[in-house]
Amino acid sequence: MSRIVRIGAATAFFNDSRMGIAQLLAKAGKLDYIIFDFLAESVMGGLGRGLATGTGQGYAADFVDGYILPHLPTLLERGTRIVANAGGLNPAACADAIRAGAARAGLSVRVGVVEGDNLTARVDKIVTGEIADMFDGSCVHEKVAEADRVNSLVAYTGAFPIAAALAAGAQIVVTGRAVDSALALGALIHEFGWGPEDFDLLAAGTLAGHLLECSAQVTGGTFTDWRDVPDWAGIGMPVGECQADGGLVITKPDGTGGLVTVGTVSEQLLYEVSDPQRYYVADVICDFSAVQARQVGPDRVEVSGARGLGRTDTYKASLTYDQGWRASATIPILGLEAGAKARRTGEELFARAGAMLRDSQLPPFDRTRCDVFGGEGEGATVAICRLIADHPDQAGAQLLVREQGSAISHMSVGTTLGLAAGMRPIQRITGFLLPKSLVTQAVSVDGRSVAFEVATDARGEPDAAPVPADPRLPDDADPQFTVPLIRLAWARSGDKGNLFNVAVIARSPEFLPYIAAFLTAERTGDHYGRVLGHQRRLPVERFSVPGLCALNFVVMGSMDGGVLASTWIDPVAKGMAQLLLDIPVPVSPDLSQRLGS
């Protein structure tokens, strides 16, 4: 058997639980690497705002003090190396903080730095009138011109600089906005000597990184069959067992919670993926459409079948900026007809604030939203009134924050102390493609420059395969016999800018024809248009993923501006798949009976 490189994943996002690294070191046995994913588009904006206002250092400071330094003696003793994108907009400062903390503890550690992805200082030169948003085609230059402040502009860079830092002896590698999956891919390039033209291997390594990057999401976190997942409190962190030929097994430490199954792995594989045949990252274009997941033991799933189609000559770039201010308040109301009282409370507070804005000669709110949760049914209940109001000026947003407190004595009986109220800048995000030739990266280990090469030319990228026509319902399907989609499939959703994807994975190959014939792009667009309150069909692209017996739906123009601009209760689309799982799917009488509908 060829050598196996074992990679554990400790975090999925900024300030994820600290239990990940502690568990991996205590229970996972020998690990070659532990990776930490800390960054997202919204995080980059927050780090940039902190730098601009002097309230932050531009990197994830907690990564140093909370995740690494307490475990550094163990990491050094075992030879487990760390790769993390916790450097944010200032990876050199993050590395300096690690070295300083290690020195205080009487330890010496070699820290590598990958930088050059932070292009914020070059916004005016890079963002010209020709740059268009990669999703909706809008003019990025106009967004910058109208912004209150640009917080960050970063390029999603690749894995080869990480590999170079490891080859130069780095025990910890800190990057900026590297592609999430590049954290694992860089380690595999270093270990196995993969080159920039080894597209199938780079795709396999990207798949490994993609499955690991969200930590416990591949070991049962946010799984459709949540009742089957034991011990959320002690859920196992994932471990990827990787081989030089691209072979991969996903597992977790013995004696931990969670589970690793074909379902958990399949859900994570399609999480935040648009076209599975064209998954673009910095180093390779991946085709995941034929990937298969196979249970090879308890909490062990073998994953294979990724193909590399070439590479592009562009990086994805992400720009975050502030425009306007958001006021928010959450008010509980108790008693009879609590829901009706909460709705009226929202209406009256917006009316009062609107009048006060006019009296103060301030412009009106750009938009408002009132959500009422609970409060229905007979008898006394509890309702939560959630208010959102956007205003171009800080003073306008502050007005609603101040006035919402008066509801406890001016408005509905049963109103009690508010749960939260505040305001913040509205952060918006736009993404576009940037020629790799415009990005100059640098790698160093303990201040010594490291030579490396990154391929910037385009290779491969064959024409996209034709989209298959929607199949007919199987002959034995009977519209009188339906089962909810959740009986037939697992599903996972996630946001990406102003769109979200929903992966629907058949629990058995025999279920897929019924799902595929019924769940068309048009029907899915109608469904989400209705349940999300758009009152129209949302544009949907549907992709086939035959290796996983799955379909992937991309619902466009659906996220109310995306992440920190959205007024919705689910701005990261974590629950969008849940809103599809009760849709009734026609099946055969026999299947209906077997599934107990």
pLDDT in tens, 467-481: 566 677 888 989 999
Task: Summarize pLDDT for 60-111 with one digit per residue, the tens.
Answer: 999 999 999 999 999 999 999 999 999 999 999 999 999 999 999 999 999 9
Tokens representing 449 are 């420059």
Residue 322 identity (one-letter amino acid): D
The pLDDT value recorded for residue 2 is 78
**What domains appear along the chain, each with residue ranges and CATH number?**
5-117+156-311 (no CATH), 325-428 (3.30.70.360), 478-595 (no CATH)
> Two tokens at 473?
């319902």
pLDDT in tens, the chain (597 residues): 579 999 999 999 998 999 999 999 999 999 999 999 999 888 999 999 999 999 999 999 999 999 999 999 999 999 999 999 999 999 999 999 999 999 999 999 999 999 999 999 999 999 998 899 998 899 999 999 999 999 999 999 999 999 999 999 999 999 999 999 999 999 999 999 999 999 999 999 999 999 999 999 999 999 999 999 999 999 999 999 999 999 999 999 999 999 999 999 999 999 999 999 999 999 999 999 999 999 999 999 999 999 999 999 999 999 999 999 999 999 999 999 999 999 999 999 999 999 999 999 999 999 999 999 999 999 999 999 999 999 999 999 999 999 999 999 999 999 999 999 999 999 999 999 999 999 999 999 999 999 999 999 999 876 656 656 667 788 898 999 999 999 999 999 999 888 999 999 999 999 999 999 999 999 999 999 999 988 899 999 999 999 999 999 999 999 988 888 999 999 999 999 999 999 999 999 999 999 986
Give residue-wise pLDDT tens across range 118-177.
999 999 999 998 899 998 899 999 999 999 999 999 999 999 999 999 999 999 999 999
Three-state SS for 140-186 is HHHHHHHCCEEEEEEECECCHHHHHHHHCCCCEEEECCECCCHHHHH
pLDDT at position 463, please? Answer: 64
Number of H helices, E strands in the chain: 18, 27
Contact criterion met (CB below 8 Å) for 206 and 29: no
Determine the pLDDT at residue 152.
97
Report pLDDT digits (tens) over 426-467. Answer: 999 999 999 999 999 999 999 999 999 999 999 987 665 665
As given in the structure block, the two tokens for residue 550 are 């799955």
DSSP E strand boundaries for 245-397: 248-251, 279-280, 285-287, 292-297, 300-304, 307-308, 310-311, 314-335, 367-374, 381-391
CA torsion 333→335→336→339, rounded to 10°?
20
557: left (phi over 0), alpha (psi -120 to 50) or beta: left
DSSP 8-state symbol, 595: H
CB atoms under 10 Å from CB of 132, counted, come to 15
The CA distance from 1 to 12, in Å, is: 31
Q: Amino acid identity, residue 548?
A: L
| HSE of 448, CA atoms in CB hemisphere, 13 A | 9
Q: What are phi and psi of 251, to 5 degrees?
A: -145, -170
pLDDT at 535: 86
Q: Please give the DSSP secondary-structure letter assigned to residue 465.
A: P
pLDDT for the residue numbered 466: 61
- CB 172 within 8 Å of CB 112: yes
